[in-house]
């Protein structure tokens, strides 16, 4: 296992500065967020100008990308232009030497059979480029239900999960229910979180995330990938971002 930092930790900075800040905080690996409504790379840019996107990432410090967090936003996955854009992102990940591709699953209420069909096609494409495709356990999506998340992984060979335990505290499913997903975990997003409304992100040590238990569970299943610090950069955060990011890095490094 190793500790990485998501570029979402510096979402309000230009990408090159975000990468320099990650390096200054003594990370050597990072997760690159490609989000349609974000300030860094957007899926439309990567899909339309592959080489320019590569150069933008490579202009930064010599950090190693550990994963890509890809969010196209609400799109029609039956649209061939969208599918070509996804294909381009898989080639982009391969060019960067990234193994893990993290994506959201469909919103709650989507028929399971429909999501399995969509994911089967996307996973086939990703695996052809040597990627490990995963779904975030976001409580607003199908994968936020641990039972359904496991069903999706069983129905779509090669599909894994990105565990985000904050949703186990803030969502409708108890944290212990997420023990089901550990055999399928291929990436982890971490911050500290309380169980009250408005406590999705709190200062490290003031929340209820059991980091040691999470690491122990991951070790039980032979997990050897990233623990990704994913403290999302928001203007209303009640803490200093660099201080909390550094604290969480140091804490996680003592556990691995």
* Contact between 187 and 169 (Cβ < 8 Å): no
Low-confidence ranges of the chain (pLDDT < 70): 172-176
* Contact between 131 and 100 (Cβ < 8 Å): yes
Tens of pLDDT, residue by residue over 160-202, are 999 999 998 887 666 657 899 999 999 999 999 998 888 999 9
pTM: 0.94
Domain ranges for the chain, please list them.
Answer: 2-255
Task: Please tell me what DSSP assigns to residue 36.
Answer: T
User: Does the 2-255 domain belong in CATH 3.40.190.10?
Assistant: no
Whole-number pLDDT of residue 50: 81
Q: Distance between CA atoms of 7 and 65, rounded to whole angstroms? A: 10
Whole-number pLDDT of residue 49: 82
Token readout for 201 is 């992100």
Q: Are strands 185-190 and 226-229 parallel, antiparallel or unpaired?
A: parallel
Of 26, 8, 141, which Cα lies nearest the Cα of 67? Answer: 8
Token readout for 1 is 């296992």
Whole-number pLDDT of residue 175: 62
Whole-number pLDDT of residue 45: 84
Whole-number pLDDT of residue 173: 66
SS3 assignment, position 59: coil
Whole-number pLDDT of residue 55: 86
């Amino acid at each position: 296992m190793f500790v990485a930092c998501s570029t979402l930790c510096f979402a309000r900075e230009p990408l090159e500065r975000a990468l320099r800040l990650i390096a200054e905080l003594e990370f050597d690996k990072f997760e690159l967020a490609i989000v349609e409504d974000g300030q860094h790379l957007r899926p439309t840019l990567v899909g339309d100008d592959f080489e320019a996107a590569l150069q933008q990432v490579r202009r930064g410090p010599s950090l190693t990308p550990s994963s890509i967090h890809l969010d196209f936003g609400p799109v029609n996955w039956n649209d061939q232009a969208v599918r070509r854009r996804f294909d381009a992102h898989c080639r982009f990940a391969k060019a960067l030497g990234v193994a893990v591709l993290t994506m959201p699953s469909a919103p709650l209420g989507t028929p399971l059979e429909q999501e399995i069909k969509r994911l089967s096609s996307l996973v086939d494409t990703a695996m052809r480029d040597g990627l490990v495709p995963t779904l975030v356990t976001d409580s607003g999506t199908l994968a936020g239900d641990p039972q359904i998340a496991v069903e999706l992984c069983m129905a779509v060979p090669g599909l894994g999960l990105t565990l985000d335990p904050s949703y186990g505290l803030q969502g409708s499913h108890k944290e212990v229910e997420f023990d089901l997903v550990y055999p399928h975990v291929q990436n982890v997003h971490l911050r500290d979180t309380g169980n009250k409304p408005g406590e999705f992100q709190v200062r490290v040590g003031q929340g209820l995330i059991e980091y040691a238990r999470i690491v122990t569970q991951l070790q039980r299943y032979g997990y050897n990938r990233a623990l990704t610090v994913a403290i999302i950069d928001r203007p209303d955060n009640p803490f200093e971002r660099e201080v909390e990011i550094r604290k969480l890095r140091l804490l996680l490094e003592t556990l691995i």
